[in-house]
Amino acid sequence: MTPMLWGAGVLVALLALLAVGTPIAFALGLVSILALILADGWGSVSILGETFFGGLASFGLVSIPMFILMGAAVASSPAGKDLYEALDRWLNRVPGGLVLSNLGACSIFAALSGSSPATCAAIGKMGIPEMTKRGYPNEIAAGSIAAGGTLGILIPPSVTMIVYGIATETSIGRLFLAGLLPGFMLTVLFMAWTIYDCRRRGVGLDMLGRRFSFRERLEVLPRVLPFLGIIAAILYVLYGGVATPSEAAGVGALFCLIFVAVIYRLWKLSLYSSLFRDTLKESVMIMMIIGASELFSFALSSLFITQTIAEWISLLDVNKWVLMAIINAFLLFAGFFLPPVAVILMTAPILLPIIIQAGFDPYWFAVILTINMEIGLITPPVGLNLYVINGIAPNITLGEILRGSLPYVGCMVVGIVLLCLMPEIALWLPNLLMGPAL
């Protein structure tokens, strides 16, 4: 059988397994091992254990559970609410202040959390009721938070970037830096759109809930500053030469746990068991997909599928921007159905050689890919953030959330185009702080 036929067989089997609802990790693993058994015999089973174990036993991956633990610790406390409230008290005289505090809180919280649904939930719980209370349409309230939440995987730390770094052997520190400015850019685009949309619909942007005295503004700070301190400390630790990303993640997680306990005096055992349960659920799910992807890329490579596809695309000889457009369309499509981590792990080994051969920067591409994944988080049928919002704001229909989110998909597409026109948006900061890439 030729590699392309094998590839088609693997794809069909995988889609069939996914369609009946097999967990992504086990669908990937089963397809891989079946293909290997068919091609090389039962002996292939003997390497399953070592390959899966070896795929997980790496210090770089340590940062994934640790950053998830950090985000869960902050999300389990009222820190998201306080962050939101602090911004609101300080910005509420500015026209459009509520929009700014909502999206601003999302982007700041994103700097504490590696995951998008966590960001969405932490800010949305407070932000959405506040917006609807002051007369913003449901669509704007839900859509802006769903979109703002996606920043969790673009603004560092980001579990998606860590996975990309591991899969492509690129520097995680550099990837984080590459995501920072594009993250701010998207925040600004989201804000600009929201303010424009409010004007267009005649929603007042300077509706004040109430006035805050200077004292009221000051008194929220002590609960917020420690977390801003953690963000600053992590950035310092990462780029000031104290520790690697995995180490920063572990230390950050421990400090967030301690801060939550000290600042909010939350000593209830039930709180910690629920935050560790959330951590375990998300990190085990991701780690199992990582282990299975290790088998999947092994099978694709062993059957020469990866190499054949890469060769085939390099022979196509299309313009590199046409190629980029095709890759984007493909990623968008995959993102409609699959979570970011799975898309990255399944496609990175095939796409990266093509990207590099076409002359694109792997760090820049990581940002493009992440924004594509962000879009997937707010588009049906599998848009994780949509369901999170649906869960925390039961009075807003899924349809409203969806309609509200769509314009932000447009903002992200604009973001991708801007990044294509000016790759420096992603590359300037890492090059400035870390020197040119290897």
Partner 1 sequence: ADVVLKASHQWPGGKGDVRDEMVQILAREVAKANVGVEIKVYPGQSLFKANEQWGAMTKGQLDISAFPLDYASGRHPQFSATLMPGLVRNHDRAGRLNTSPFMDDIKKIVNDAGVVVIADAWLAGGFASKKQCITSPETMQGQVTRAAGPAFEQMLVGAGGSISSMPSSEIYTGLQTGVLDAANTSSGSFVSYRLYEQTTCLTAPGANALWFMYEPILMSKRSWDKLSAEQQDALMAAGKVAQDYFAAEAKGLDDKMIKAFKDAGVEVVEMSPEDYDAWLAIAKETSYKNFSENVPGGEELIAKALAVD
Partner 2 sequence: MSFYINAVSAVSRFFGLIAMVLTGSAALVVTHMVIVRYFLGGSTVWQTEYVIYALVAATFLGSPYVLLNKGHVNVDLLQLRAGPVPRRIMQTLSALAGIAFCALLAWSGWIYFHEAWSYGWRTSTVWAIPLWIPLLPLPVGVGLMVLQYIAEIMKIHGGAR
Q: Is residue 24 involved in binding partner 2 (CB under 8 A)? A: yes
Q: Which is nearer to partner 1, 54 or 135 (CB)?
A: 54
Q: Is residue 6 involved in binding partner 1 (CB under 8 A)? A: no
Give every CB contact of residue 114 below 8 A, 6+ residues apart in sequence. Answer: 64, 67, 68, 70, 71, 152, 153, 157, 158, 159, 160, 162
Residue 370 C-beta: closest distance to partner 2, Å: 18
Q: Which is nearer to partner 1, 50 or 317 (CB)?
A: 50
Q: Is residue 43 involved in binding partner 2 (CB under 8 A)? A: no
Which of positions 326-345 make contact with partner 2 (CB under 8 A)? 337-339, 342
The amino acid at 408: Y
Q: Is residue 33 involved in binding partner 2 (CB under 8 A)? A: yes
Which of positions 16-55 make contact with partner 1 (CB under 8 A)? 40, 43-44, 46-47, 50-51, 54-55
Binding mask 147-186 for Na ion (x = CB under 5 A): -----x--x--x----------------------------
Residues 149, 106: contact at Cβ < 8 Å? yes
Q: Is residue 194 involved in binding partner 1 (CB under 8 A)? A: no
**Rounded Cα gap, residues 417 and 77, in angstroms:** 37
User: From Na ion, partner 2, partner 1, none, which one binds at residue 43 (CB under 5 to 8 Å depending on kind)?
Assistant: partner 1
Residues 177, 414: contact at Cβ < 8 Å? no
User: 242 vs 70, 235, 318, 403, CA distance in Å?
Assistant: 19, 10, 45, 45
Residues in the interface with Na ion (CB under 5 A) total 9
Binding mask 237-276 for partner 2 (x = CB under 8 A): -----xx--xx-xxx-xx--x---------------x--x
Residues forming the site for partner 1 (CB under 8 A): 40, 43-44, 46-47, 50-51, 54-55, 59-60, 169, 171, 173-174, 238-244, 298, 301-302, 304, 306-307, 349, 434-435, 438
Residues forming the site for partner 2 (CB under 8 A): 17-27, 29-30, 33, 45-50, 52-53, 56-59, 61-62, 65-66, 69, 242-243, 246-247, 249-251, 253-254, 257, 273, 276-277, 279-285, 287-289, 291, 337-339, 342, 381-382
